[in-house]
Structure 1
Amino acid sequence: MLQENWTTVKEFILVGFPGLNPKYYGLVAALFFLVYVTTVVGNSILVVLFVKEHSLQKPMYGIMFSLALSDIGFSTVALPKIIAKYWFDDETIPVYACLMQMKLVHYFATVTSFILMLMALDRYLAICNPLRYPVLMTNRITLALNIFAWVSSFMFNLFNLIEGSRTPFCGPNRIVQCYCDQASVFKLSCVTTTYQNLVAFSLAMVALLGPLTFIVYSYTHIIVSVMKVTSMGSRWRTFSTCSTQLCIIGIYYLPRCGVYVSNLLGVVFVPDIRIALILFYSLFPPFINPFIYCFRNKEINHVLNHWVKKFRGVRQQENYNLI
């Protein structure tokens, strides 16, 4: 009897913030749109800088280039639908489109986690093994590591892709979230999903805690190595070389870990606060990363300023020719 109802659900309804007053829908849509445009434009500028500027074609910037692509991908997958909901009242999403969004959201999140691990590896080798760094972290090796991060992330999400494609949904069909995420979608399955949830949760923890464990290990050794340096000036210069990455890693992992620890401790959030926390640690890192790159990294800041001055010079010359 249950099987007859498995095909009744053809689309889901994205609820978004369940407690949000409709008069604020336009404001929320505008905020999401601003976040999306800023994220895509900012990270796209970095991608162009990394591709065009020869001085930035180094292993560390190759990893940052990969992170910028992942940030663009995640925001493009997660945000347009919720913007359409709040701006155009387009709240329905076909089941197959929702499942695809769910896979891509988790895929890009996994890619980002592995890329942050590569960042930590780069700084670990540069500071703790400086003599071997030019041999161990060449552009070719960095490319291979980036490819590994993107391919292995797909393998981590392969289980969810297979299980989601054959999971039946017979109602309800309301997703209390701003995009289709794994936890919200699997709750709507017709069948018992204990096995699915357990395996999916285990894979997510490996994808998150595995890189985080290596990151903590790497920066622990970095701090120990730096503290052995007698000169305070040398210590500061060494710390400054990895401060940008520490900011990015902290913004990405700390809120996530806080939410996971709260769940383990049984702390229950009201839906609106829970959704806001998830959106913060999902959307804020891609949004803020370009600003961190530009303000905290001297090389990127120098190249960007050079491009701006060059562009202004060209415009001034064009205006002068018109006169």
Structure 2
Amino acid sequence: MPEGNLTTVKNFVILGFPGLHPNYYGLVSAVMLFVYLCILLGNGIFLTLFLREKRLRRPMYYIIINLAACDVLFSTTTLPKIIARYWFNDGSISFLGCFVQMYFVHYFGSANAFILAVMAFDRYVAVCNPLRYVNIVKDSTVMILCTASWLMAESCVLMMVIRAYPLPYCGDNTIVQCYCDHVSITKLACTDRTPYGFPAFVFAMFMLLGPLAFILYSYFSIMMAVFRISTAQGRMKTLSTCSSQLIIITLFFLPRCFNYLAPYIGIIFSADTQILIIMLYSLLPPMINPLIYCLRTKEVKEILAKILTKSAFLQSMKEKVQVSAVSK
């Protein structure tokens, strides 16, 4: 590009789905708003139960609280802007704001992966060393591991953002994505992005495959321990203690691995399809996770049943039924 034609980008425009017809903008924004409200409501309910009920003050639930916080923060970082883009046709985001969003997108995603590894550690000790579980997995231990998860994610992501920020951005400012991330931003730089893209790729693989490797080892060890249990009832009971965590981990890692590996195995997606896959694995787990906590966890189910039984609505319905029966 000639020197005289260089213009410095002062803001970016988030495009979203490039092939989406304007007639569907309202529908897409409504769906995203619904997803966002479900994430806030579901995780908010679980947080409220955690604060109210002392019986939930256990290591496993401390891990889930960290995961819920990560889900809410990630969704709050990404969804409001893309909802505004489709609802109010406001896709503009400032230069600095885009990099701030990029930082938090990768930060919360990385922290989520490490917290899931802590969750796998909890289940590994519970199944493979049940007699030592209370001594190993203490509240203090879980808090230290969760804090380390947040700190490890922060240092790596910050370095990636610092390297991308000073690049020369002097051409197109349209981000073909639903939020600012490293790939979509650095593609717009007026320079060779290889020196910046490759270290970022290595970082992404470390953040994804590092926790995943530990998780796979943990659950492989758990399966071996389960097979050594003599009774079928004992095996089912042990597996049930891990089922909810395994569902959460699968929802987070499997689509991501597929998205990263697809180009290397000859699977090519259109831009719209790839963005849809990214949005599904970014937003589906935060929306579904609270249901898994509530429906697959014995203590939470009992607490919810108790609350519903005591609710004023149900009490009034019972009274109406009793009055109706007496009148007859």
**What aligned pairs does 1:203-222 form with structure 2 within 5 A after superposition?**
203-222=203-222
Note the C-alpha offset of 1:198. Answer: 0.9
Note the C-alpha offset of 1:265. Answer: 2.4
- The aligned counterpart of 1:54 is 54
User: Residues 141 and 197 from structure 1, CA distance in 2 versus in 1: closer, same or farther, beyond 3 angstroms?
Assistant: same
| Cα deviations by residue, 1:186-213 (Å, 9 ceiling, x for unpaired) | 1011222211111111111001000000
Partner AA of 1:65 in structure 2? I
Note the C-alpha offset of 1:266. Answer: 4.1
Contact persistence 1:6–1:168 (CA under 8 A): no
User: Residues 140 and 102 from structure 1, CA distance in 2 versus in 1: closer, same or farther, beyond 3 angstroms?
Assistant: same
Partner AA of 2:182 in structure 1? Q
- The aligned counterpart of 2:63 is 63
- The aligned counterpart of 1:187 is 187
The alignment partner of 1:13 has SS state of strand
User: Residues 2 and 96 from structure 1, CA distance in 2 versus in 1: closer, same or farther, beyond 3 angstroms?
Assistant: farther
- The aligned counterpart of 1:23 is 23
| Cα deviations by residue, 1:54-108 (Å, 9 ceiling, x for unpaired) | 1011001110010000000000001000000100010111111111111100100
The alignment partner of 1:163 has SS state of helix
Note the C-alpha offset of 1:181. Answer: 1.3
Partner AA of 2:177 in structure 1? Q
Whole-Å separation in 2 of the counterparts to 1:98 and 1:111: 20
Contact persistence 1:74–1:104 (CA under 8 A): yes
Structure with bigger gyration radius:
2
Count residues with an aligned counterpart.
Answer: 319
TM-score, normalised by the number of residues in structure 2: 0.93
- The aligned counterpart of 2:158 is 158
Matched residues, percent identical? Answer: 45
Partner AA of 2:12 in structure 1? F
Unaligned runs of 5+ in 1: none
| Cα deviations by residue, 1:224-279 (Å, 9 ceiling, x for unpaired) | 00110011111101000010000001111111111111022243211110110111
Decide which moves more: 170-179 or 306-315: 306-315
- The aligned counterpart of 2:326 is none
Whole-Å separation in 2 of the counterparts to 1:310 and 1:273: 46
Whole-Å separation in 2 of the counterparts to 1:46 and 1:6: 51
Note the C-alpha offset of 1:50. Answer: 1.6
Whole-Å separation in 1 of the counterparts to 2:232 and 2:119: 24
Whole-Å separation in 1 of the counterparts to 2:315 and 2:181: 46
User: Residues 190 and 226 from structure 1, CA distance in 2 versus in 1: closer, same or farther, beyond 3 angstroms?
Assistant: same
Whole-Å separation in 1 of the counterparts to 2:164 and 2:111: 20
- The aligned counterpart of 1:307 is 307
Whole-Å separation in 2 of the counterparts to 1:196 and 1:301: 48
Partner AA of 2:140 in structure 1? R
Partner AA of 2:60 in structure 1? M
Whole-Å separation in 2 of the counterparts to 1:116 and 1:226: 21
Whole-Å separation in 2 of the counterparts to 1:279 and 1:4: 39
Note the C-alpha offset of 1:15. Answer: 1.0
- The aligned counterpart of 1:114 is 114
Contact persistence 1:6–1:169 (CA under 8 A): no
The alignment partner of 2:226 has SS state of helix
